[in-house]
Structure 1
Amino acid sequence: MSVTDVLKESLHYPFIEKEKIIILGIFYALISAINLGISYLISTPLMTSSSSTLINETATTFYQQINHIFAQIPTTNLYESIILGILMILLGILATGYDYRVIKEAINKNNFLPKFNNFLLMFIEGLKITVVEIAYDILPIILLVTGFYIMTYGGIFLTIGSILSCVGIICAILMVLIQIMAINHMIANDGKITFAFKVKDILNIINSISWIRYIGALFMLVIICVIIGIAASMIISFIMLGVMMISSQVILTSLVTLVIMGLFITPFLSLFCDRTLGSLYNERVKDLNVDEKYIIK
């Protein structure tokens, strides 16, 4: 199947069972609403504080200044934010678990959306993807943070930090390319997390697809998502104007915007991307010397 055919099929995929898009959208809408609630709980006390209160002239370090700023937030707000944050993470992992199932169906070449059932298993599946993503992100983050930190010393350290940061960026791009196929390889092998770190096998799989074809497909995927995002933003802007004419409350306008994005746009893009990535995995050459003990039938 050509890359264009993969993308076309993936664009039609979310509309096979529209009710499941709405169910997935509820997850993303709740995540967006909770995120807005956390922002409101933290930012409102800071916005009502005077600038003189927020700035601590006796603070000698950046961390002391941050601690001083957080001291302006009521303890109740912090506790509520922590609780909401935990709930948001749990919902996010569940949504990621559904991504796992969508990719699995793509690898199986099934033309239906997976069911929303066995939420404990779905949570574990989402947790597996999260663990793999974190593992692949650790090295680039260390390089970037270290590089930017060294740059603050100036002089020769500015050059050293810049080089380290550039290495971190290149490493991040490479890790993302490997990570995507690593997640697919894990899912194709009964979710065994060790398969996500069989780097030699994963590189062989990408080679069999062709790096140019693989990167080209991801590039086209990003372009399509950006176009859909821009079009959606323009439509939502008109809706926002209507809401603002009815109510001048900024928090209400933001909530309506986030709920619309969460219910319709985010789940569509999520399903589109998952289907594309799973289908790309199927483009590998199957007779490679790759450890695939369990390929889903």
Structure 2
Amino acid sequence: MILDIYKDALEYSAKDWKTLVLLGVICLFSFLLLPIFLVAGYNYRVISNAVHGVINGRDPLPEFNDLVDMFVSGVKVVIVQIAYLIVPVILFIIFAALASYLNGMAGIAIMIIGCLITLVVGVIAYLMAQMGLCHMAYNDGAFSKAFDLHEIKGVIDEVGWFECIITYLGLIIITVVIALVISFIIGLVFTVFGFSGFLFSAEAAGGIFLLGMLVNWLISIVVVGPYLGIFNSRSIGLLYTMQI
């Protein structure tokens, strides 16, 4: 079932390259902060489509319209994610403060224990946050449903904590592998051209290397980033449907 989710999400994310490029152009202006909410809002629409769809379905990518609604959805997504991260962050700060007051091995031991506890709580918080977004989408965008801990825990219990963790680990691995492979291919191509440029001049070679870095960055932002964002959003939405 997990492999079916990955297969569906990988194919789904490549259905409309115009939408990917449009999202990528918006990502180029993410330093302005506001575009981040639009991208988050679009990925939320992907989640919403997924929780109301089926694996290996023929769902199209969401329409890129009604920017106000998409922006508001993005704000909700960011708030939910930050809210769930507060607990592990506070835990880490508390353990770090305690460790700073202790000397030697005692401080190190407290810090190690604190990191382990924070990691466990962080994983749980992350799962709750992602399923919270799915639960909100499934309930027609009801913001309170993203924080209904009892219902969200029930969803994870039905899907299976082990299945959820394994699925998310798989998403991380796939995301990293895709990003690294594409960067490696682009880097390799421009490295070859760069060394070829030495036949003409060192300046030409340097220019080719710089151009390669620029192209690599642009493709990562404009194409790879949006593709992986949709891939992850589709995957967690389909994972949520495993309990319905």
Output the amino acid matched with 2:222. L
**Equivalent of 1:104 in 24, 45, 48:** 48
Unaligned stretches of 5+ in structure 2?
A: 198-203
Query: Is the 2:38–2:71 contact (alpha carbons within 8 Å) kept by the matching residues of 1?
Result: yes
Match for residue 19 of structure 1? 18
List 4+ stretches of structure 1 deviating above 4 A.
Answer: 242-247, 249-254
**Does the Cα contact within 8 Å between 2:47 and 2:137 map onto a contact in 1?**
yes
Q: TM-score, normalised by structure 2?
A: 0.85
Deviation track 1:191-247 (CA, whole Å, cap 9, x = no partner) reads 111101111111111111122222222222222212212211211312553479547
Name 1:122's counterpart in structure 2: 70
2:174 and 2:231 mapped to 1: Cα distance?
10
In structure 2, the residue matched to 1:144 is 92
Instruction: From the superposition, tell whether residues 234 and 252 of structure 1 become closer, same or farther in structure 2 (CA, over 3 Å).
Output: closer
Match for 1:135: what amino acid? A
Counterpart position of 1:173 = 123
Q: Report if aligned partners of 1:186, 1:193 keep a CA contact under 8 Å in 2.
A: yes
Instruction: State whether residues 29 and 261 of structure 1, in contact with CA within 8 Å, keep that contact through their aligned partners in structure 2.
Output: no
Identity of aligned residues (%): 29
Letter in 1 for 2:110: I
Q: How many aligned residue pairs are there?
A: 229
Taking the aligned partners of 1:255 and 1:30, their CA distance within structure 2 comes to 16
CA contact (8 A) 2:187 2:213 kept: no
1:81-117 per-position Cα deviation (integer Å, ceiling 9, x unaligned): xxxx4x1x11111110111111111122261011111
1:191 aligned to 2:141?
Answer: yes
Deviation string for 1:148-178 (max 9, x for gaps)?
Answer: 2332334244433433332222111111111
Cα distance change of structure 1 residues 223 and 165 upon mapping to structure 2, 3 Å threshold: closer
Q: Distance in 2 between matches of 1:130 and 1:243?
A: 42
Unaligned runs of 5+ in 1: 32-84, 286-297
1:214 pairs with 164, 168, 176, which one?
A: 164
Partners of 1:266 and 1:243 lie apart in 2 by 26
Task: State which structure, 1 or 2, has the greater radius of gyration over its C-alpha atoms.
Answer: 1
Distance 1:243 1:111, change over 3 A: farther
CA contact (8 A) 1:148 1:162 kept: no
Matches of 1:189 and 1:222 in 2, distance apart? 27
Q: CA RMSD in A?
A: 2.2
Q: Name the SS of the counterpart of 1:152 in structure 2.
A: helix
* In structure 1, distance between residues paired with 2:29 and 2:237: 26
* Counterpart among 198, 216, 223 of residue 264 in structure 1: 223
Tell me which of 83, 87, 94 is aligned to 2:38.
94
C-alpha distance 118-163 of structure 1, shift in aligned 2 (>3 A): same
Residue 127 of structure 1, CA deviation: 0.4
- What is the TM-score when the length of structure 1 is the normalising length? 0.71
Tell me, in whole angstroms, the C-alpha distance in 2 between the residues paired with 1:217 and 1:115.
Answer: 27
Partner of residue 203, structure 1? 153
Report what 2:201 is aligned to: none
Q: Between Structure 1 and Structure 2, which shows a larger proportion of helix residues?
A: 2
The answer to whether 1:231 aligns with 2:181 is: yes
Equivalent residues of 2:187, 2:212 under 8 A apart = no
